[in-house]
């Protein structure tokens, strides 16, 4: 088996008194499609935010693509990464959030082409060509000149996916990307993600409440409860024959 692209080793995270992640340990293989499921408040979003370096950890170690996410000072504690290190680590990971976070005053095309120009020094013509390819892939090429306010929620989320891909990350994180959408718009976004999962060898982590989508999308499912992984396995096993009572109880409620 190839080396893990993400290594999470005994990670703990607290918000004040609240212990949100407890000795969390799991690895992700390159190209693996992983679904994180579990009750609200179980820590799924927090681990994605930690991987995006939007949150620090209180203990443990994380490596992404062979590099520590945080610098480890000589005294063994945890220290914030310096700017250059943060920048390099952030370039490895792209994230699409629950709420659309497009720049409202820019066209769809500029939303997708600008990040590579600003953060990676990509030439304008190259960024534009790549943005058009990605917009085509998510079925949004004919809306290239539209502003976000002219788009439906599903269309905005497809542009947000293209924008995250424009930075060519090694890992993509999807956090409840359909939960703010009207039901009739969910499927168009899931279709784009399904195609991505099938056609690219990018590593993907998905937090979702769409259990049938998690089943189709994932190579492996992690069931979180109370800041720990209670059970993990291939989707067929987790969804049709879960071993743990807590997994069974959760699935009974949501399916
Ligand atoms: P999930 O994604 O599984 O629903 P989260 O990772 O969002 O769970 O949240 C885990 C717990 O951490 C929840 O109890 C939540 O209220 C708490 N939490 C998340 N972010 C913060 C924060 N910035 N400050 C305080 N508490 C937080």
Tell me, in angstroms, the distance from the centre of ligand 1 to residue 225's CA: 12
Query: Which band of pLDDT confidence, cut at 50, 70 and 90, is reported for residue 1?
Result: very low
In the chain, the percentage of residues whose pLDDT exceeds 70 is: 95
- Token output for 177: 């990307």
Tell me, in angstroms, the distance from the centre of ligand 1 to residue 43's CA: 6
pLDDT at residue 181, rounded to an integer: 87
- pLDDT tens digit sequence for 74-102: 555 555 557 777 888 888 999 998 887 89
The average pLDDT across 243-248 equals 96
- Locate the DSSP E strands across 208-248: 220-225, 228-233
Indicate whether 190 pLDDT > 60: yes
CA dist., res. 231 & res. 249, Å (int): 13
pLDDT at residue 11, rounded to an integer: 95
Top-confidence residue, 161 or 75: 161
Min mean pLDDT across 9-13, 17-21, 75-79, 132-136 is at: 75-79
Reported for 119-122, long-range contacts at CB under 8 A and 24+ positions apart, including other chains, are 119/87, 119/91, 119/167, 120/91, 120/167
- pLDDT tens digit sequence for 35-48: 999 999 999 999 99
pLDDT at residue 100, rounded to an integer: 74
Closest atom, ligand 1, to C-alpha of 40: 4
pLDDT at residue 70, rounded to an integer: 72
Residue 167 near residue 119 (C-beta atoms within 8 A): yes
Cβ of 20 closer than 6 Å to ligand 1, yes or no, is yes
What are residue 142's phi and psi, to 5 degrees? -75, -5
Comparing CA positions, the residue from 123, 190, 136, 124 lying closest to residue 165 is: 136
User: Strand 59-64 relative to strand 6-15: parallel, antiparallel, unpaired?
Assistant: antiparallel
Tell me, in angstroms, the distance from the centre of ligand 1 to residue 48's CA: 11
Tell me, in angstroms, the distance from the centre of ligand 1 to residue 45's CA: 7
Q: Rg of the Cα trace of the chain?
A: 18
| Average per-residue pLDDT for the chain | 91
Residue nearest to atom 5 of ligand 1 (CA): 43
Coil vs helix vs strand at 64: strand
Cβ of 208 closer than 6 Å to ligand 1, yes or no, is no
Look up the pTM and report it. 0.92
Residue nearest to atom 19 of ligand 1 (CA): 46
């Amino acid at each position: 088996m190839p080396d893990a692209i993400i290594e999470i080793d005994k990670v703990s995270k607290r918000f004040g008194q609240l212990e949100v992640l407890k000795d969390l340990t799991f690895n992700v293989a390159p190209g693996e499609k992983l679904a994180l499921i579990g009750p609200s408040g179980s820590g799924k979003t927090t681990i994605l935010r930690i991987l995006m370096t939007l949150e620090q950890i209180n203990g443990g170690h994380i490596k992404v693509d062979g590099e520590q996410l945080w610098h480890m000072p000589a005294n063994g504690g945890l220290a914030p990464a310096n700017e250059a290190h943060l920048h390099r680590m952030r370039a490895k990971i792209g994230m699409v959030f629950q709420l659309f976070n497009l720049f409202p005053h820019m066209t769809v095309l500029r939303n997708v082409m600008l990040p590579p120009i600003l953060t990676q020094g990509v030439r304008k013509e190259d960024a534009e060509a790549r943005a058009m390819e990605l917009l085509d892939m998510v079925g949004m090429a004919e809306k290239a000149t539209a502003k976000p306010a002219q788009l439906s929620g599903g269309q905005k989320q497809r542009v947000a996916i293209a924008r995250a891909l424009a930075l060519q990350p090694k890992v993509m994180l999807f956090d409840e990307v359909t939960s703010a959408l009207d039901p009739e718009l969910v499927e168009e976004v899931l279709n784009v993600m399904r195609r991505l999962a099938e056609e690219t060898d990018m590593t993907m982590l998905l937090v979702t409440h769409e259990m049938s989508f998690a089943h189709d999308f994932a190579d492996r499912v992690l069931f979180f409860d109370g800041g720990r992984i209670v059970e993990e396995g291939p989707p067929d096993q987790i969804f049709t024959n879960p071993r743990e009572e807590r997994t069974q109880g959760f699935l009974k409620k949501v399916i």
